[in-house]
Chain A
């Protein structure tokens, strides 16, 4: 299959579906933005897609815990179809609020033998108790994530109020052993952030910014790769231009490779 089809969820406050769809299109995928209620009325649509994305946003305004209300809705209405989707050789991506949804659904991190459905980790209020919109540096951990092939480090923006990763000690150990920790926050010199703000923008345990599951096919991350898709997205773009006025804004930014990896998985 040369051109995978990406289904991107929208509705109830999801708000990054358009730029995320654009990122996939620019990497050669076909995309369809689907309202959650339309998906619930016709859940078989899910099987038409190869990549299922829960984009970033503010589903239900983060009320009752970010991602919780939408995850509840999906669990009651789409669970069987989601399990069938995950069982096939397909990809699931959750960005920011989408990551929070996947965690509340129990799709991340899941349990051994691809058993999904229980909540085992949490993304809770930032340790600053404040919404943080800023660029962070990330280092890929030893991971099987399909989305992070050939990725060692990344610079991406975060924008969230509840991104603090938490897991009980035994779960954390298991995640490490299973190579499910995908990205960690680091400082500008790529040293571990060790929980310190602003390198670790939310106080995440073990500086964890992303998780994967299902042989690396399910991936969730707090940062927004679609917002670092091209050179003009970079925070130093105006200064780059000052030094080289011929810089091309269409050149890839660091987030692009995540979308390319996903699309290329099907080539």
Chain B
């Protein structure tokens, strides 16, 4: 990257500083940093760098196309410091990073000129920040730089005013990718020492020696010794030759933990079939058998998403993914790539489902934690701070979801110190697909046929995402590759997504389709090849972003926004015409065969030729052994309830990170697009965060799709069985409360584990999976899809240069999806009418292990940090009679409001009921109960409900066997009054709670 004379710089900026909103807000943000001086003004300028020689007239024309003359001015190839800037900073992308703005600008110019850029021309976007301040120190610049750029993907260039003026502006930097041409395929010798083999598996194939003579490797294969031995043996005995580098890279992708889920698949202790088959698939199998004709499952664990029946004519699909490792390095790129990627799991389901709802869930550390962490010793390679990670992942899902026109309705934020080294970023998408296509095909079935063309469509292939699949199977360290980071391009994807699900599918133009995710085409083509028994690919036909990529890089690149299709040759002309008229690039790269082999050539030379059977099933079986982990639970010695400032605690609970309003996130996400929202992310006139959402996907049908989720990382720290059982119970109860019958609820599991080679962690995993089986089978709620992410550990250094390892708490996220038969059953948790009676349904519980209340007591210094308490343990079977009765009452429309108790317990349920519409309440706590524990314990299986006064006695009779406690009534003012033993033990107001509830994230 160097200064070049064959380029032009066009800057576009607001004429009037008052309209430069981003500049103004950035000034505020910078002044909130601990800088040595005050930032007096920040002005922004959007820069387009044009590569190639263009006349002034041509450049003026470009400016006219890219700016808005009402508000913008522009300069071309000149210096003009905006405002009274003393310092100028430019942030641009490094070569090869996805530049969506430039991509759109190039299309606009091509539209205007009727022809795209020539090969030696191009356009690149960057941003200039004109900063007015007294001299900035190096430390100031470092702090500002951290806010404005990510060095992994962006360059930062600073100039003082004088240099800027003398140089006639910032340098003209053209981030074109230039690769050394002529990279060839090579053979890899596997007859090497064990140490060499280990290095090969851990750090990758030797690429070259650098100038100092050091060996430079290509990046982790993440293959262990038994796997490498199996590969060596296969090539020696069956193929009787050495493997090519491409074959080895392809095997590494296909066999990665990320793709093969080796830990979940391996036999473990006495479970021959492993955790996945025994506990997850096993639960679904048992439930489906017991259901018989009432089975709701249609396609489970076999496709990119799971699918259940919606109605006679449609299926709904669901899939929840994680994108943790990339999000730790580049939170924006990681999360946008995640959400856009999981959308493709919908488009790639069956013959192509339409994405109708997005889900999200972000697990991070306290955003106020500013204690730095470093990936390298000596304070090098600083990890991003929790606040920066949170901001970035919130932004990424916003851009990805909103630009794709998919409502993002359902999600959560969860905070735990264990997420400081590596955040968990959950992204999910629900799809809708007719059960049969117009041609009468069952739309959840697909099969590539021998002779079908292999067609790739969408974005082009670049170096981005190389080693993504193997990288996420390793813990994060200083050597984590930057090429693992990429940025999604939702508009490119939207174009082909519409073309497929709104046009090509109905016209029956392809036999099979799948998404390109981890492992790129090496995984998607080889996976589809199983449907027909072989494939033959001409790798040079794959469209690339830039010349010079090695064959193996093309084969395993994970560049996003691509699908792979199997297209009968007679259908190809029609499909090609359709896609081209929709602005979608599609290319035939080979054909599916029945040779039993995966064959890939590059410019006529065979670079991969091996049995599909070995590629998919050659991975040596593992047997894992676990070791029980000693319980960490203990007794907590609590202060007397009467000595505690409970009114203050009640309020403080509403301001806790996990319980406060997260509305700043949900209002950035378009939850209304597609016009189907029924129960929105926020409830009541005061907009209180809900626990479930309902969407009506077909405007003429009264059926709704209900979504929720639950996780209890703090309980997991103590007991993973209880965490999973409680999460399933909560995710299921949340849907019952909004009108879903138990018989039409399905579940998705996401295990995000840590140190998964440790037998104690494996034991926790096994316990967690066992709870999934037992709880799901009891409720009859099948798992339809799941994913695991096994190495969520961070190894690095703290501010004193001490080595630290931070592991996420073993985390099980349970997502629930259900069908509401009639959206008129939907209720919220808002107390809607003064005088209504308030009841607690269900019983049990005073444990506070893993609860928010115990965390509060620790923060208040009232219990020791070693206090862990006992986690709630319940029997799902004991819940069934309550749930059956409750769903009858829900169907009859008897309830005015329902809140399934979860984090924060009864206090949170009642408080949110009052917050939503502003009506207070009066609750009388049974005399025998310890007040704080009764208010704040998180025992599952319970609901807080309100009914009209005339329904009170009927309710008491109906629910007597499953536990019913009359607590009080809704008030006509905003007072919240808690009474025990005839005395007011706690009194507060809705506005007090409101202030606490809103303040925590007020500045976000």
B contact residues around A72 at 8 Å (CB): 65, 108, 111-112
Is B823 within 8 A of A232, CB to CB? yes
Contact between A133 and B71, CB atoms less than 8 A apart: no
CB-based contact A16/B673 at 8 Å: yes
Report chain B residues within 8 Å CB of A238.
678-679, 683, 826-828, 830
| B670:A131 contact, CB within 8 angstroms | yes
| Chain A residue, CB-CB nearest to B101 | A63
In angstroms, Cα B25 to Cα A219, docked, is: 32
Q: List 23 A-B pairs, Cβ < 8 Å.
A: A12-B491, A13-B491, A13-B495, A19-B674, A22-B675, A58-B402, A63-B103, A64-B66, A72-B112, A124-B19, A124-B71, A125-B21, A127-B21, A129-B25, A166-B71, A233-B678, A236-B685, A238-B683, A238-B826, A239-B832, A241-B826, A242-B830, A243-B833
Complex: how many Å from CA A119 to CA B104?
Answer: 20
Residues of A within 8 A of B676 (CB): 19
B675 and A227: CB pair below 8 A? yes
A contact residues around B14 at 8 Å (CB):
124
Query: Whole-angstrom distance between the alpha carbons of A237 and B830 in the complex?
Result: 12
Expressed in whole angstroms, the Cα–Cα distance for A64 and B102 within the complex equals 9
- Name the A residues within 8 Å of B827 (CB-CB): 238, 241-242
Tell me which residues across on chain A come within 8 A of B103, comparing CB atoms.
63
C-alpha spacing A130/B664, complex, angstroms? 10
Q: In the assembly, what is the distance between CA of A236 and CA of B683, in Å?
A: 8
A36: nearest residue on chain B (CB-CB)?
Answer: B583
Q: Min CB distance, B288 to chain A, in Å? A: 33
Q: Digit string of A2-41 for contact with B (CB within 8 Å is 1, else 0)?
A: 0000000011111110110011001000000001011001
Minimum Cβ distance to chain B for residue A40 (Å) = 10
Chain B residues with CB under 8 Å of A130's CB are 668
Whether the Cβ atoms of A119 and B673 lie closer than 8 Å is no
Q: B70 touching A241 by the CB < 8 A rule? A: no
* Chain A residues closer than 8 Å to B924, beta-carbon distance: none
Are the CB atoms of A159 and B581 closer together than 8 Å?
no
Q: Which residues of B contact A38 (CB under 8 A)?
A: 581
Pick from B491, B684, B823 the residue with the most CB of A within 10 Å: B491
Contact of B491 among A61, A77, A249 (CB under 8 A): A61
In the complex, are the beta carbons of B68 and A239 less than 8 A apart? no
Interface string of B652-691 (1 = CB under 8 A from A): 0000000000000011111111111111101111000000
| Cβ-defined contact, B667 with A61, below 8 A | no
Instruction: Kindly identify, within residues 143 to 179 of chain A, every residue whose CB is under 8 Å from any CB belonging to chain B.
Output: 157, 159, 161, 164, 166-168
Q: Is the CB of A119 within 8 A of B25?
A: no
Interface residues as binary, A41-68 with B (CB distance below 8 Å gives 1, 0 otherwise): 1000000000000001110111111001
User: Which residue on chain B has the smallest CB distance to residue A240?
Assistant: B832
User: Does A19 contact B108, Cβ atoms closer than 8 Å?
Assistant: no
CB-based contact B674/A232 at 8 Å: no
Is A191 close to B, CB under 8 A?
no
**B132 in the interface (beta carbon within 8 A):** no
> Which residues from B are CB-within-8-Å of A132?
667-668
Interface residues as binary, A234-262 with B (CB distance below 8 Å gives 1, 0 otherwise): 01111101110101110000000000000
Contacts of B830 in A (CB 8 A): 238-239, 242
A204 on interface, CB distance cutoff 8 Å: no
The residues of A that contact B105 with a CB separation of less than 8 Å are 63-64, 69
For residue B978, give the distance in angstroms from its CB to the closest CB of chain A. 24
A245 to B696, CA, bound (A): 18
A82 within 8 A of B: no
Q: Does B798 contact A (CB under 8 A)?
A: no
B760 interface residue, CB < 8 Å from A?
Answer: no
CA distance A42 to B712 in the complex (A): 57
Q: Is the CB of B684 within 8 A of A239?
A: yes
Interface string of A77-97 (1 = CB under 8 A from B): 100000000000000000000
Q: How many residues of A contact B (CB 8 A)?
A: 74
Could you tell me if B670 and A61 are in contact, using CB atoms closer than 8 angstroms? no
Partner of B108, one of A15, A16, A69, A134: A69
Compute how far the CA of A77 lies from the CA of B672 in the bound complex, rounded to whole angstroms.
32
Q: Once bound together, how far apart are the Cα atoms of A118 and B119, in whole Å?
A: 34
Nearest Cβ on chain A to B667's Cβ, whole angstroms? 5
Pair B670/A18 contact, Cβ less than 8 Å: no
Distance of A73 Cα from B112 Cα, bound (Å): 7
Contact between A13 and B403, CB atoms less than 8 A apart = yes
The CA of A32 and the CA of B135, in the complex, are separated in Å by: 60
Contact B104 A61 (CB under 8 A): yes
- Whether B581 contacts A37 by the Cβ 8 Å rule is yes
Question: Contacts of A164 on B, CB cut-off 8 Å?
Answer: 21
Contact B495 A242, beta carbon cutoff 8 Å: no
Report which of A35, A125, A131, A168 forms a contact with B70, defined as CB distance below 8 A: A168
Task: Name the residue of chain A whose CB is nearest to the CB of B669.
Answer: A133
Could you list which residues of chain B lie within 8 angstroms of chain A, going by C-beta atoms?
14, 19, 21-22, 25, 65-71, 100-101, 103-105, 107-108, 111-112, 398-399, 402-405, 490-491, 494-495, 498, 581-583, 666-680, 682-685, 696, 699, 702, 823-824, 826-828, 830, 832-833, 893, 895-897, 916-917
Return chain A residues, CB-CB under 8 Å to B684: 236, 239
Chain B residues whose CB sits within 8 angstroms of the CB of A239 once the complex forms: 684, 828, 830, 832, 916-917
Cβ contacts under 8 Å, B498 to chain A:
10-11
A10-B498, A63-B105, A129-B25 are known contacts. Are A237 and B581 too (CB-CB below 8 A)?
no
A37 touches B582 (CB 8 A): yes
Pair A12/B583 contact, Cβ less than 8 Å: yes
CB-defined contacts of B71 to chain A, threshold 8 Å:
122, 124, 166
What's the nearest-Cβ distance from chain B to residue A252, in Å? 13
Alpha-carbon distance between A58 and B673 when the two chains are bound, in angstroms: 11
Nearest Cβ on chain B to A112's Cβ, whole angstroms? 18
List of 10 A-B pairs having minimum Cβ-Cβ separation, nearest first: A15-B405, A19-B675, A63-B104, A245-B893, A238-B828, A122-B70, A60-B104, A159-B670, A242-B896, A58-B403
For residue B896, which residue of chain A has the nearest CB?
Answer: A242
Q: How far is the CA of A65 from the CA of B403 in the complex (A)?
A: 14
Contact A65 B112 (CB under 8 A): no
The answer to whether B673 and A69 have CB atoms under 8 Å apart is no
Beyond A239-B684, A249-B824: 9 further Cβ-contacts under 8 Å?
A15-B674, A64-B101, A119-B68, A127-B21, A131-B402, A134-B667, A166-B71, A239-B917, A245-B824
Report the bound CA distance from A10 to B495 in whole Å: 10
Residue with the greatest number of chain B CB neighbours at <10 A, chosen from A19, A157, A239, A248: A239
Q: A15-B494, A131-B670 are in contact. Are A226 and B675 (CB under 8 A)?
A: yes
Task: Say yes or no for A217: interface residue by CB 8 A criterion.
Answer: no
Residue A185 lies at the interface, judged by CB distance under 8 Å to chain B:
no
What separation, in Å, do the CA atoms of A166 and B14 have in the docked complex? 12
- Contact assessment for A73 and B111 in the assembled complex, using a CB-CB cutoff below 8 Å: yes
**Across-interface contacts of A26 in B (CB, < 8 A):** 699
B432 to chain A, nearest CB (A): 12
Complex Cα distance, B104 from A245, in Å, reads 49
Bound-state CA distance A38–B670 (Å) is 28
Contact A35 B491 (CB under 8 A): no
Q: Are A119 and B70 in contact, with the CB atoms below 8 A?
A: yes
Instruction: Mark each residue of chain A from 133 to 145: 1 if its CB lies under 8 Å from any CB of chain B, else 0.
Output: 1100000000000
Tell me, rounded to whole Å, the shortest Cβ–Cβ distance linking B429 to chain A.
15
Please give, as numbers and ranges, the residues of chain B lying within 8 Å of A167 by CB-CB distance: 70
Q: Is A69 a contact of B669 with CB atoms below 8 Å?
A: no
| Bound form: Cα–Cα A65–B675 in Å | 25
**Nearest opposing residue in chain A for B698, CB measure:** A22
Of A23, A60, A159, A236, the contact of B107 (CB 8 Å cutoff): A60
Instruction: Knowing A22-B699, A69-B107, say if A104 contacts B678 (CB, 8 Å).
Output: no
Question: If the complex has contacts A64-B104, A241-B826, A242-B830, are A131 and B398 also in contact, measured as CB distance less than 8 A?
Answer: yes
Whether A11 contacts B66 in the complex (CB less than 8 A), given A122-B71, A159-B673, comes out as no
**Complex formed: what's the CA distance from A64 to B106 in Å?**
10
A69–B104 CB distance below 8 A: yes
A224 at the B interface (CB under 8 A): yes
Query: A residues within 8 A CB of B104?
Result: 60-61, 63-64, 69
B494 and chain A: residue at smallest CB distance:
A13
Task: Name the CB-closest residue of A to B946.
Answer: A242
A133 to B670, CA, bound (A): 5
Neighbouring A residues of B69 by C-beta, 8 Å: 119
Chain A residues, CB < 8 A from B896: 242-243
